[in-house]
Amino acid sequence: MLGTSKDNGGRHPLYKGVRQRKNSNKWVSEIREPRKPNRIWLGTFSTPEMAAIAYDVAALALKGSQAELNFPNSVSSLPAPTSMSPGDIQAAAASAAAAFGAARDAIVMANNNSETSGVACMNGSYDDTNMNGFMDEDLVFDMPNVLMNMAEGMLLSPPHPPAFDAAYDADGFTGADDYLWNFP
């Protein structure tokens, strides 16, 4: 395998918290709890990227903003565990890795379908077998978390009115959203 050797114990050269299983094409991820000797086993995954995503979820939960992440730009899209218990951290990590795997599979399937359907259309024939693929949008778009985030947004209080400003009120215009927040 490129970048791994017996000298580094199978650790991935790019991703923190990820190593390859001995005599296997599987990747595992685990993280040590801060100031404790315990490790939290995050799981076995088919790709190093899935294992790295699982590590990122656990690192954010355990270390917060000081965590060294494999994918720092994807922090906002990662699920947060419901508590700091190892079981909840494992569940959140597995959820993130599964969503990444489903999204990757959907992209690969879409690319394969577009390539084969393009060939079929150029040949002048239409092949319906390319359109029968199933894609689970709930996993790809992380729908349960989207709905929870929307519900949290609905619980926000309306914005506070601006402070009194004589120049602002001189023309009688108080803003475009007068009726939005003052609905009877």
| pLDDT > 90 fraction of the chain, expressed in percent and rounded | 21
- Distance of alpha carbon 170 from alpha carbon 158, whole angstroms: 25
The pLDDT of residue 14 is 86
CA distances from 84 to 20, 36, 100, 148 (A): 27, 14, 22, 20
**How high is the mean pLDDT of the chain?**
75
Give the model confidence (pLDDT) of 109-119 as tens digits: 777 766 655 44
Would you say residue 141 has pLDDT above 70?
A: no
- Give residue 182's pLDDT: 61
pLDDT of residue 60: 93
DSSP, residue by residue, 100-163: HHHHHHHHHHHHHHHHHHHHHHHTT---GGGGG----HHHHHTHHHHHHHHHHHHTSPPPPPPP
Tokens of residue 110, six digits = 């879409």
